[in-house]
Amino acid sequence: MKKYIFIVLLTVLLTSCVSKAEDSRFKLMTVCTIKLEAKDADNVLEKAFDLISQIEREISVNVESSYISRINQNAGKSGVKVSDDVYNLIRFSKEVSEKVDNAFDISVYPLVKLWGIGTEDERIPEAVEISKILPLIGSADIILGEDNTVFLKKEGMGIDLGAIGKGYITQKLVELFKAENVKNAIIDLGGNIYLYNREGNVGIQTPFADRGQYYTVVKVNNKAVVTSGPYERYFVSDGVLYHHIFDIKTGYPSNSNLLSCTIVSEDALLCDALSTAGFVLGEERLEEIAKIFKVDIKAVNDEGEYLNFYGT
């Protein structure tokens, strides 16, 4: 009997140590929400947001001293030594590019700058401006040297990790949560979702509808759900929509027949790279992408059809 009471007391004591914390903050140029249950939840939540800020400082093109900005500033001149994590992230990006015919390619930065979509300077460039910078794009010219150095072969080249930054940070948050024995968590980095140790439904945004309107939901646990779509950043000129995801072969916003491409998998980083790649490649290639990378894909095409591909 005594033993029984002791066990009950211990259980009560242990569970009472676990607290909940939740907050939304503007980071990564979007709203990031984290909700978690852990021992000393408030403290873990602060560590999580600190980690987001720290990685943003390391990899953002908008931070002049970031590794990525320094690589770009030294394009065509010299290699820049980066951290193990950033080196591996760039290597991962190059490997994915090779497998998806460069539909996802982090050397896209000259195009991102030229079009300026979502900035005050957004505009439709002249065709000649585009053809001039196309030779600067292609991640085969990102040279990974010994000793963690990254060198861009041609002056004017540039890396932009916008298509995988949130996926990478999600992966790092999951590592932090494991180390901190977090009981469960929801990570939402501007719509890039990960459910950690908890089952739940994740809604997938209806393209061009008000935020929070979902065309479907997926039930997941310990998985990321990441979507790419033209509706996230675009402008319209003479009735034509110009969005922020480029086909590096043409230099124009990708004109695949998709309005939305969602990847579901345990690997948040892979999800983010493939959501961009899948969106550029279009409906015809999604079955192949799902099989090769063993991920599930949900997409909407321009006829409003809902598409499902299963690779798991």
Task: Kindly state whether residue 227 participates in binding Mg ion, applying the rule CB under 5 A.
Answer: no
Residues 152-171 that bind Mg ion (CB under 5 A): 163
Tell which one of 270, 275, 285, 296 touches Mg ion (CB under 5 A).
Answer: 275
Nearest in space to 90 (alpha carbons), one of 134, 21, 137, 143: 143
**Region near ligand AMP per CB under 6 A, out of 12-20, 129-137, 207-215, 238-246:** 238-246
List the single partner that 112 binds among Mg ion, ligand AMP, none, CB under 5 to 8 Å by kind.
Answer: ligand AMP
Neighbour tally for 283: CB within 10 Å: 19
List the single partner that 108 binds among ligand AMP, Mg ion, none, CB under 5 to 8 Å by kind.
Answer: ligand AMP
Tell which one of 142, 184, 276, 290 touches Mg ion (CB under 5 A).
Answer: 276
Report the nearest approach of ligand AMP to the CB of residue 184 (Å).
Answer: 25
3 phi and psi angles, rounded to 5 deg? -60, -40
Helix (H) / strand (E) containing 269:
helix 268-281
List the single partner that 248 binds among Mg ion, ligand AMP, none, CB under 5 to 8 Å by kind.
Answer: ligand AMP
162 or 282, CB closer to ligand AMP? 162
The DSSP line for 82-99 is --HHHHHHHHHHHHHHHH
Report the nearest approach of ligand AMP to the CB of residue 271 (Å).
Answer: 9
Nearest in space to 66 (alpha carbons), one of 150, 4, 3, 136: 150
Helices (H) and strands (E) in the chain, counts: 9, 17
Task: Kindly state whether residue 228 participates in binding ligand AMP, applying the rule CB under 6 A.
Answer: yes
Residues 253-282 that bind ligand AMP (CB under 6 A): 272, 275-276, 280
**Region near Mg ion per CB under 5 A, out of 9-17, 216-224, 250-258, 275-283:** 275-283
Report the nearest approach of Mg ion to the CB of residue 173 (Å).
Answer: 16
**Region near ligand AMP per CB under 6 A, out of 15-23, 67-75, 132-140, 160-168:** 160-168
Nearest in space to 241 (alpha carbons), one of 129, 134, 122: 122
Distance CA 232, CA 4 (A): 56
Strands in the chain per DSSP E: 18-27, 30-39, 80-81, 142-144, 149-152, 184-189, 192-196, 200-205, 214-220, 223-228, 234-237, 240-243, 246-247, 252-253, 258-265, 296-301, 306-310
List the single partner that 106 binds among ligand AMP, Mg ion, none, CB under 5 to 8 Å by kind.
Answer: ligand AMP
Question: With the C-alpha atoms ordered 207, 245, 271, 35, is the resulting torsion angle positive or negative?
Answer: negative
Residues 67-126 that bind ligand AMP (CB under 6 A): 104-106, 108, 112
15 phi and psi angles, rounded to 5 deg? -70, -30
List the single partner that 80 binds among ligand AMP, Mg ion, none, CB under 5 to 8 Å by kind.
Answer: none
**Hey, what are 100's tokens?**
């998806």
Tell which one of 44, 55, 96, 163 touches ligand AMP (CB under 6 A).
Answer: 163
Report the nearest approach of Mg ion to the CB of residue 276 (Å).
Answer: 4
Nearest in space to 94 (alpha carbons), one of 106, 103, 82, 84: 106
Where along the sequence are the contacts to Mg ion (CB under 5 A)? 163, 272, 275-276
Q: Which residues contribute to the site for ligand AMP (CB under 6 A)?
A: 104-106, 108, 112, 160, 162-163, 228, 232, 244-246, 248, 272, 275-276, 280
